[in-house]
Chains A and B, each alone.
Chain A
Amino acid sequence: MIEQVREHVRKLLTDGQISAFLGLRNQDGNIAPHIFEKPEDLDEGFTLGDVEGRPPARYPLAKLLMTIVSADPDKKFGILVRGCDERALYELVRWNQLPGAAYRFVKVGFACPQELADEHECRKPFPDECVAGEKAQPVMNASVKEIDAKALPERLEYWSRVFDRCVKCYGCRDICPVCFCNVCTLEENALIRTGDLPPENPIFHLTRAAHMAGRCIDCNLCTEVCPAEIPLRTLYKKVAEIVQEDFGYVTGEPGDAKSPLNFLGPDPGHTSAHD
């Protein structure tokens, strides 16, 4: 699989269709995002994230692309995408974080193995177009249903307990491919008192959850990085479910649908006196 991807990228670079490729590189056993500028660079450490004996490493490449694209406005980039990366790209384009997107980057997609799809209970473990890989079966995550099955006091007890483990490392936010704000509400003292540890429970996590409405693309990176093993994804999945139920909006899909919180419902001014 990796060979197909490598050769595809090599061709893009050789033909000059892209000036550089944002992918992953294995350097002395450590996998990290890397910008490949020359075709021959691809022969050294180019990887899809696989490490022996461990699940493949993932990074919010879409978020990195955002920075790279704005730093180098004249260049066109290639980017390695899994299903989740692609969903993030769609959402970032929608939020205008990759301006001129259509001609600014080329996606090089590959399907995740079933093992990884199972690991992250991925709803779509492959991008729309794949250069390589067998499309794995989507896996549904049942964690929301588990919470829904609990009674109110049990839910509160559960969340209070897991939120109290939070060490406020902001890892969930920093890894999040769709967290792009320059200033963050989570650091707004007037809303969430700063200096508390664990942070105000449940305000800190519910605030972040509210900000994930219409944004979270369900990549599971937040839960993966959380040192306190807080099941954040479950919380954001619920938010996504609410947004879908109430506004019919699903994140991470192509097209120019607007995020439901970014426009007014009925025509401006037409508010009814009755609710």
Chain B
Amino acid sequence: MRKLLAFSGVDPERLLLKWVSSAEGPRFAQVVTEFTEKIRILGPSPLADSRTAKQPTAGMASEAS
């Protein structure tokens, strides 16, 4: 997905997939905090203005248990 996004011109850093076990609370918090920080630095999605009604394309952190 990241490679496809990059090819389409979307910064692949905007997508994150991480396996976090349900027993790893602190790690989950860390992953989410780091990622939200990163997104904040990257700024609004370049796709956001084309569909103003929609929310910006945020990332996705997946939780597995």
Q: Which positions in A face B, CB cutoff 8 Å? A: 144, 147-148, 150, 152-160, 200-202, 206, 209-210, 235, 238-239, 242, 245, 271-273, 275
Contacts and interface: CB of A to CB of B under 8 A. Distances in A.
A158 B9 CA distance: 8
Contacts of B3: 238, 242, 245
Contacts of B10: 152, 156, 202
Given A202-B47, A210-B4, A238-B4, A273 B21 contact: yes
A148 B19 contact: no
Nearest to A201: B50
28 contacts: A148-B7, A150-B9, A152-B6, A153-B9, A153-B46, A154-B9, A155-B6, A155-B7, A155-B8, A155-B9, A156-B8, A156-B9, A160-B9, A200-B51, A201-B51, A202-B8, A202-B10, A202-B47, A206-B4, A210-B1, A210-B4, A238-B4, A238-B7, A239-B4, A242-B4, A273-B21, A273-B23, A273-B24
- Secondary structure type dominating chain A contacts: helix
Contacts of A271: 19, 21, 64
Interface of B: 1, 3-11, 18-19, 21, 23-24, 46-47, 50-51, 64
Nearest to B8: A159
B24 A157 contact: no
A38 to B, nearest CB: 49
Contacts of A158: 9
A236 to B, nearest CB: 10
A215 B50 CA distance: 30
A273 B31 CA distance: 13
Contacts of A273: 19, 21, 23-24
Given A200-B51, A202-B47, A157 B9 contact: yes
A200 B57 CA distance: 13
Contacts of A154: 9
B13 to A, nearest CB: 10
Nearest to B20: A273
Given A148-B7, A156-B8, 19 more contacts: A147-B7, A154-B9, A155-B7, A156-B10, A156-B46, A158-B9, A160-B9, A160-B50, A206-B4, A206-B5, A209-B4, A210-B1, A235-B7, A235-B8, A239-B4, A271-B19, A273-B21, A273-B23, A275-B19
Nearest to B6: A152
Contacts of A209: 4
Contacts of B5: 206
A272 B9 contact: no
Contacts of A235: 7-8
B19 A272 contact: yes
Residue of B6, B9, B47, B51 ringed by the most chain A CB atoms within 10 A: B9
